[in-house]
Structure 1
Amino acid sequence: MPAKKPISRPLPLVVIPGGSPARLSENWLVLSIEKAACQAGHLSWPLAPEVAHAVLHYLRHDFKHPKIERETLELILRRSLTGIGCPAIARHFELLSSAPSINLASLALEAPFEILFFQQLSSLVDEKVSSLASALRLEGLRSCVLALTGSASWRASCQRLSDEIVHFIRARARTLSPSLLELTIW
């Protein structure tokens, strides 16, 4: 009889006290582990991706909840690091803050004209990317475009403005931080 293939689930949302749940990613875990390793005196620790991959495998196949508390995730990582003989890294492990985000819909309400919107968006992207984040999340693109165009429904002009905003954000982020690992716009 062939072995059963484990059921793969989406990664759980990380529940952060005082914040909204954030989707867990491998990059987020790797950066958190690398920071702990650096604090423990290992400036370059090549096992960070392997440890992250192992924990993510557990969360996809054996963890049965759609959400995980930040403290629980940190405990799992600390136990994993201690289990492979890295107690110093485990002691320093703390999950980095999730990706900074910009609410485009709110920004469009604050700066209702395109020229003002792009000026403020430029400043916000600069600020968030310069925070040394590995990811940047932008939300509310559709609502933002509808507000800026004054449209009640989506039109060709909305699509053009949406494409322009996305291109602007990507170009700005790439210029400021070529190493930005993840850019999510929705």
Structure 2
Amino acid sequence: MLAITKQVSAFVTWLSDAPQGAIAILTATLAAAVALLVAFLTQWTLSRRTRTELLTKKLEELYLALNEVSAHNLKRVEEALPLITATPFTKHVISGSSVQRQGLDLHKKIVMLVRLYFPRLAAAHQEVFRCNSRVNLLIYEAENGPPLSEEQLLSLSGFYRDAVVAMEEEIIQNRKVLVKDYLFPVRYRRVLIEETQTPGSKRDA
């Protein structure tokens, strides 16, 4: 404390003894420093706001794509139901391209958004993608082999639905983190599915 008091006293003495030009230079330097600081803070705030707005828009696109995935899941199950009672002589084949039937176009969009903007959602999306692949494989095998098992179809499509819901919940719980709308560090909350339990069971981690 004494050292600081001495420094302040010495500075005051210097100001009183300094030539007029030196004081003007010091004042101009301080004014320039303040102007630079204000400009930096303004630019940082604008850049941060622009980034948050962009990420918010992309997160909304991702959420809407997940809604489309849920609707696609229901439609695919309905179209696959005739495979349950199909026989080798009355084999049913689901119409439409494989891309449309398997939802690959939707998942390609989701992959792009996750990889480019929200890598923290990668684990949640991988679970969604795995569940989607299981349903697709089950239907493909039923189109080319024994009749479809209704129990398996409903079970796997249920896990798929729950994986999508878990990803949606993860987005909602971590919105501020995902769009970088925070000043202080925020804990990221994962939402996982317990596959050993019944479809629909989830836990936070």
TM-score (norm 1): 0.24
TM-score (norm 2): 0.22
Q: Which has the larger radius of gyration?
A: 2
Between Structure 1 and Structure 2, which shows a larger proportion of strand residues? Answer: 1
